[in-house]
């Protein structure tokens, strides 16, 4: 399951998409809207996500294929777009494998790469009424 | 041509068709856009282009029917 | 949420137990019954888990406290006991933090420690009718 | 006294009360159990004891009302 959706992300569906009888471990990641953003002290009351859907899907598919070949893990990736309130999930990832170490590694690889490469943008809306497009910081 | 996020707001369109001279590249297109919106010039270092869904350098030649995307630094996840 | 339960593990409830408005990341782990066990080629058709509930709960609580102090992450841990079929989750963990790196680290720490320290035992039931108590291997 | 998993099956009880002499330790208790079930002797190296929910060495002294647990290597997760 590789998808860009408007509706809330269902974690159970992500897990069901990757689990097989050969799996002993399923690791999931949810990125959720939090009350303050890194590098800005103003309280956030929501985010708006925008995607270039066709390219986002193809890049997410490439990342999923990389995860499978590097870690021998099956992954599902769903990114939500539109207006999200505090506490809602913007991205959901599930990684399943026979053993837990590779499931953790694959899940972390996918979110790290997604943040670097997938064409999705977010606008932070502050409680004071202001709003800013916020890019991901590149890890050193 | 598609523009996203801050570039969409700056240029005032999310999707627009445009005729370009023969031999035009992504650099040609960007020059046209900056001529119309000079305040976009500062965005060039952080802007990435895609042609038909694939990242492209500004020397990339453009052809009829190409889908070009103007993309600020990503913020997904 | 620290619990030993007989009923199926609900992943959404684990996430809800740890997420706060200060969290940007929730990582979960599910250990699921798989068709073959490490070091034994016989097909498995189910597991039975048995716990020393009082001591399991106190040890899980200690691990949760360690995770909070080491990683600044809130964690929830639920272990299921009784008869589990292929694909069912025996353990569910959720770790929530402001940033994803510590949420991954905390979640992996909890499952690693749980497998070493929490008094829970599993019996593997094979398709051929045999059954064996299977201890966790100690990592080198 | 509680016995779990393979030890529960071997000794044939999950919970049992037992009177011990004054000054008895976990080692005393284990000797009693092995006297009744000699095939349990081989399990000693892998067996851990808890007294009142806390891991305990075999030199630990026992008192009236203590809850002792006999635990094989764990297999949770």
One pLDDT digit (tens) per residue for chain A, 140 residues:
999 999 999 999 999 999 999 999 999 999 999 998 877 788 999 999 999 999 999 999 999 999 999 999 999 999 999 999 999 999 999 999 999 999 999 999 999 999 999 999 999 999 999 999 999 987 54
Give residue C40's pLDDT.
76
Whether residue C42 contacts residue C134, with contact meaning beta carbons closer than 8 Å, is answered with no
Q: Can you tell me the mean pLDDT for C45-56?
A: 96
Closest-CA residue to A30 (of D61, C96, B19): C96
Chains that touch B (3 or more CB pairs under 8 A): A
Confidence of residue C38 (pLDDT cuts 50, 70, 90): confident
Instruction: Render pLDDT for B9-66 as a digit per residue (tens, 0 to 9).
Output: 999 999 999 999 999 999 999 999 999 999 999 999 999 999 999 999 999 999 999 9
Chains that touch A (3 or more CB pairs under 8 A): B, C
Interface residue C132 vs chain A (CB under 8 A): no
Instruction: Render pLDDT for C11-22 as a digit per residue (tens, 0 to 9).
Output: 999 999 999 999
- C111 chain-A contacts, CB cut-off 8 A: 100
Instruction: Render pLDDT for D12-38 as a digit per residue (tens, 0 to 9).
Output: 999 999 999 999 999 999 999 999 999
Q: What is the ipTM of this complex?
A: 0.93
Interface residue C41 vs chain A (CB under 8 A): no
Give residue C41's pLDDT.
83
Residue C56 scores a pLDDT above 70: yes
Whether residue C86 contacts residue A23, with contact meaning beta carbons closer than 8 Å, is answered with no
Confidence of residue C39 (pLDDT cuts 50, 70, 90): confident
pTM above 0.90, yes or no: yes
CA distance B58 to B17: 18
* Distances, alpha carbon B8 to alpha carbons A9, A39, A121, A126, B28, in Å: 26, 24, 11, 20, 19
- C91 chain-D contacts, CB cut-off 8 A: 76-77
Give residue C63's pLDDT.
98
Give residue A139's pLDDT.
57
Number of CB atoms found within 10 A of residue A67's CB: 25
Burial class (CB in 10 A: 0-12, 13-18, 19+), A89: buried
The nearest CA of chain C is from the CA of D75 a distance in Å of 4
- B54 chain-A contacts, CB cut-off 8 A: 55
Give residue D46's pLDDT.
95
Residue C140 scores a pLDDT above 60: no
- B8 chain-A contacts, CB cut-off 8 A: 50
Confidence of residue C37 (pLDDT cuts 50, 70, 90): confident
Interchain contact B/D (3 or more Cβ pairs less than 8 Å): no
């Amino acid at each position: 399951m590789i998808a860009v959706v408007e509706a809330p992300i269902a974690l159970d569906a992500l897990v069901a998409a990757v689990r097989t009888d050969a799996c002993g471990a399923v690791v999931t990641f949810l990125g959720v809207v939090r009350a303050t953003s890194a590098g800005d002290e103003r309280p956030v009351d929501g985010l708006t996500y925008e995607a270039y859907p066709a390219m986002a899907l193809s890049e997410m598919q490439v990342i999923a294929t990389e995860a499978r070949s590097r870690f021998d893990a099956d992954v599902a990736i769903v990114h939500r777009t539109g207006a999200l309130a505090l506490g809602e999930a913007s991205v959901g990832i599930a990684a399943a494998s026979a053993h837990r170490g590779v499931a953790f590694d694959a899940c972390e690889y996918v979110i790290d790469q997604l943040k670097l490469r997938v064409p999705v943008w977010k606008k932070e809306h502050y409680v004071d009424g202001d709003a800013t497009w916020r890019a991901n910081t590149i890890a050193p | 041509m598609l523009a996203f996020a801050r570039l969409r707001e700056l240029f005032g369109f999310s999707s627009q068709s445009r005729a370009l001279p023969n031999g035009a590249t992504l650099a040609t297109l960007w020059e046209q856009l900056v001529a119309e919106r000079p305040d976009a010039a500062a965005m060039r270092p952080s802007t990435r282009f895609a042609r038909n869904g694939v990242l492209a350098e500004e020397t990339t030649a453009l052809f009829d029917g190409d889908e070009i995307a103007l993309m600020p630094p990503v913020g997904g996840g």
